Structure 1
């Protein structure tokens, strides 16, 4: 059994990955949006001219010299770069509408270090979106187990969008467990299992983990982030079934 949630960061296998904007025709501010999202992260952004017959404004994810994913720049703009994270808190974006472009999904097991508001309005956005993606996957399966931490349980009620998402997930056949500090009675109307505590994982962790039933085939996905210092988070997401399963087991048995 791992010693802590933090120890899972030592198992990341991410090779060198970077983004290349191909045949850019969009103005400089658009590229600046992409760079600002990844500023300070281990993922660089560059430009290149592709074959003349190729589409303009395509973003490629390159790993060890090979293109492993492509996404139109417009898709990145619509789903991430022009999105305000408050839309997820208020429910301005429906769960069925949540999507992570292929080039961002392909950044799994890349360790991110991000700041929350007010230090940054954007840095946590990818982690917020992957959280919603995991919740959407849970709804689509309609079975399996979802474990999610909130630091403060009151956030589920305070954020209308979050309350709506968990009403929907819990209304399926998914076994939903929520973790945080605070009063569990406020969530009595939700068909979820509430775990409360005041230890480090309850106060400083942010995880959303989905596993299909009985460790069977299907989507395994986890987001894990640790508040390393006030309002500064180290985080990653993974689709590796073996790693996701062990993260879920650790949370179930040790948190």
Structure 2
């Protein structure tokens, strides 16, 4: 579901609730069926991987068999792919609650270190001097930000710093959070568009790179930015990517529920 689809569904919910409920029911049924199928496939894949590992341990000579290592890599790749598609499907779900965005942002380094223990990226914060509250699903929002942090970390082989900024916009009704890391975005070339017919050649770069199952990286499912974009759509948040002076920034703009002066809470 892209931004236009999300806007259409919001309008439909207000103007034609019966039609909205019918479409929403079909969508939930589809996701339920996909989840069941994925669960069954993952069970079989887990059995295959366990068997592969057991045979490799009991019979070390298998390392000399042609294609044995490739078989193990293929199984691990499929399992990883299934996990990524599962995460993408769940990014459509949204259980909103009041969330302290400021506290959430400052918790990200600890969560990142747990998810990526081999990375040594430092974090730099420049946040607004308020406790900012938004309406959000904390689990889905965490998935989206981990995708952005992971992309920033992968793009910087030197494990440099990742910058996290937040500022309340001039209108006072929205807050923009940006994640900046070393690395540049490049336009998608025409040949890549031909190999992936889902890419809209006329769409902005953010929409192109958020196309599901498109990736310029080897052994990637191409779902990271798609997950981010979908989470933003469900949260009625804006999402954009841009590069400047060798750095890439992902910006997300949220509607604000409320603000408290942080100095009054100390």
Structure with more contact order per residue of length (Cα contacts < 8 Å, sep ≥ 6): 2
Q: Would you tell me which structure has more helix in proportion to its own residues?
A: 2
Q: Which has the larger radius of gyration?
A: 2
